[in-house]
Amino acid sequence: MIPGSFSYHRPASIADAVKLLSDLGEDARPLAGGHSLVPMMKLRLATPAHLIDLHGIAALKGIRRDGQNLVIGAMTTQHELLASDDVARAMPILHEAALLIADPQVRYRGTIGGNVANGDPGNDMPALMMTLGASYRLEGASGARGVAAADFYRGAYFTALEPGEILASVTIPLPAAGHGYAYEKLKRKVGDYATAAAAVVLTMSGGKVATCTIGLTNVHETPLLAIDAAKAVIGTSLDAATLKTAAAAAEAIMAPAADARGPVEYRKHVGGIMVTRALQRAASVAK
């Protein structure tokens, strides 16, 4: 369980990191928290010739309010998200989801940037970022660009990141005051990926759903927005028939792999249940 040999680089700025990445080409990988990449390297499933450690770049750290957005540096750890009053107050679903990722030790090292940029369909943050309408700032040799989370994921481990680009920060618009939220994750044990998970952010007006967004984790090769399911609940009071319709609409776009977490039918079925529970809980905390 010893990784292959590599050269270690620790740039002090985003510009230096981007230059290293473009100079060294496809043999180089950026290293964030390392809790996906290092295990892959120990199994020799990843054998980068160069590792570019982003821990020395202060500009990639921190959580700040920017008008009606939270801007979170890519190297901000899950532990730092959990410790943030801004996150807990303005975006409690982010706090709730971060607490369901891995275990305490992994959360001290694991970063939001690594979680969203890796393209692993099992990661929790991508579907949540899509649900919250977040966008990612990508920096490369030819400058910076923004990409919506909803346009970022192309396939398993395949994203809109171009060679030589790094994901520098995540910008998340603040959800409406009084919004309801829930992240429901079914997993076999602490530290496991979701068998299926659903994120819901909604607003209520006069006992009826006014707006609703639903994201799905680990039921497809990419995170999904369940657009039809969300449409089905608008204007309703989430009665039993509506919940059934929404769950069925969400299940219709799921295409999970059969794996140790269960066969396809089971994972879709519990995916529908996660949607139902997240809708109900989100409505119950909405003001």
Partner 1 sequence: MAKTHVTMKVNGTEVEGLVEPRTLLVHFVRENLGMTGTHIGCETTHCGACTVDIDGMSVKSCTMFAVQAQGSDITTVEGMANADGTLSALQEGFRMMHGLQCGFCTPGMIVRAHRLLKENPSPSEPEIRMGISGNICRCTGYQNIVKAIQYAAAKINGVEFQEAAE
Q: Can you tell me which of 11, 34, 180, 223 binds partner 1, judged by CB under 8 A?
A: 34
C-beta of 2 vs 240, nearer to partner 1 = 2
How many residues contact partner 1, by CB under 8 A?
Answer: 27
Provide, rounded to whole angstroms, the least separation between the CB of residue 62 and partner 1. 17
- What's the number of CA atoms in the CB half-sphere (13 Å) around residue 287? 4
C-beta of 102 vs 128, nearer to partner 1 = 102
Provide, rounded to whole angstroms, the least separation between the CB of residue 101 and partner 1. 11
281 contacts: CB under 8 Å, gap ≥ 6: 180, 182, 184, 200
C-beta of 2 vs 177, nearer to partner 1 = 2
Is position 38 an interface residue for partner 1 (rule: CB under 8 A)? yes
52-111: contacts with partner 1 (CB under 8 A): 53, 55, 79, 102-106, 108-109
165-224: contacts with partner 1 (CB under 8 A): 190-191
Provide, rounded to whole angstroms, the least separation between the CB of residue 98 and partner 1. 13
Provide, rounded to whole angstroms, the least separation between the CB of residue 151 and partner 1. 31
C-beta of 34 vs 126, nearer to partner 1 = 34
Q: Can you tell me which of 35, 185, 220, 261 binds partner 1, judged by CB under 8 A?
A: 35
- First-to-last CA distance in the chain? 51
67 contacts: CB under 8 Å, gap ≥ 6: none
Instruction: Report the alpha-carbon distance of residue 229 to residue 238 in Å, rounded.
Output: 12
- CA 213 vs. chain centroid, Å, equals 15
For residues 3 to 22, the per-residue mask of contacts with partner 1, x marking binding by CB under 8 A and - elsewhere, is: xxxxxx--------------
Indicate the Cα dihedral angle 285, 173, 112, 56, nearest 10°: -140
116-175: contacts with partner 1 (CB under 8 A): none
207 contacts: CB under 8 Å, gap ≥ 6: 237
In this structure, are residues 246 and 143 in contact, taking their beta carbons and an 8 Å threshold?
no
In this structure, are residues 277 and 182 in contact, taking their beta carbons and an 8 Å threshold?
yes
8-state DSSP, 82: H
Give me the residues that bind partner 1 (CB under 8 A), please: 1-8, 34-35, 38-39, 41-42, 51, 53, 55, 79, 102-106, 108-109, 190-191
